[in-house]
Amino acid sequence: MLLRLIATAVCVTVMTGTAGAQTQDNPFRFGTTLSGFAGGTTDSESTSGAAGLELGWEMTRRLAIEGMTLWSDPSANQSDFSVILGSKINLTRKRSGPFVTAGAGMYRALFDSLAGPLPPFYGDRLMPSERTVGRGTFDDFVASVGGGTEYFFHAHWAVRPDVRVMMVFGNSDIRWVTAFGGHLAYHFERHRASE
């Protein structure tokens, strides 16, 4: 019994020391971010409000990997949802400053074809028999590029106005959607605006 207690104490001490060393030398020390997005989207047919969430992991001072969701309702009979995984690259070594983004993912458009006309990008892909069904869903590949500026106003909080151009690919055609607005971002690790 005594031998088990000693072994347990040694294991706990070694594990605690290892965890402390990993925290001090953690290459991912720049941390995790969570942000909310508010703005709009526009394409050749309409402009509408948009909202989204973004979760990111700052890998280095300049590079972050981010996953973004975006919801919009371009018309009374259409709602769009996209999920994009990509990178955010700071153009300066400072925390506050300009950045560029690039990513790819899935774009889902939901329609009620009985409530109004479909944009040609989707309407041309429907069979005549499908036009009378009512609700329809299109899942397409999307690529995104954009940029903006991040401004820290607190050790954890930053605002990020940005613009992204999304290219939705379907049936050998491309639908261009521009998302514009701003993020309110919370950085779980402390940062100084002057870093």
Which tens digit of pLDDT belongs to each residue from 5-42? 444 444 544 444 433 333 444 444 568 899 999 999 99
Question: What pLDDT is recorded for position 6?
Answer: 45
Look up the pTM and report it.
0.76
Q: Are residues 85 and 120 in the same domain?
A: yes
Question: What pLDDT is recorded for position 154?
Answer: 87
Domain hosting 153: range is 31-187
CB 161 within 8 A of CB 147: no
* Rounded CA separation 68/55 (Å): 7
Count the alpha carbons within 13 Å of 31 in the hemisphere toward its beta carbon. 12
Q: Are residues 22 and 56 in the same domain?
A: no
Q: Is residue 1 part of a domain?
A: yes
- The yes-or-no verdict on residue 140 having pLDDT over 70 is yes
Model confidence over 157-193: pLDDT tens digits? Answer: 999 999 999 999 988 889 999 999 999 999 888 766 5
Question: What pLDDT is recorded for position 129?
Answer: 62
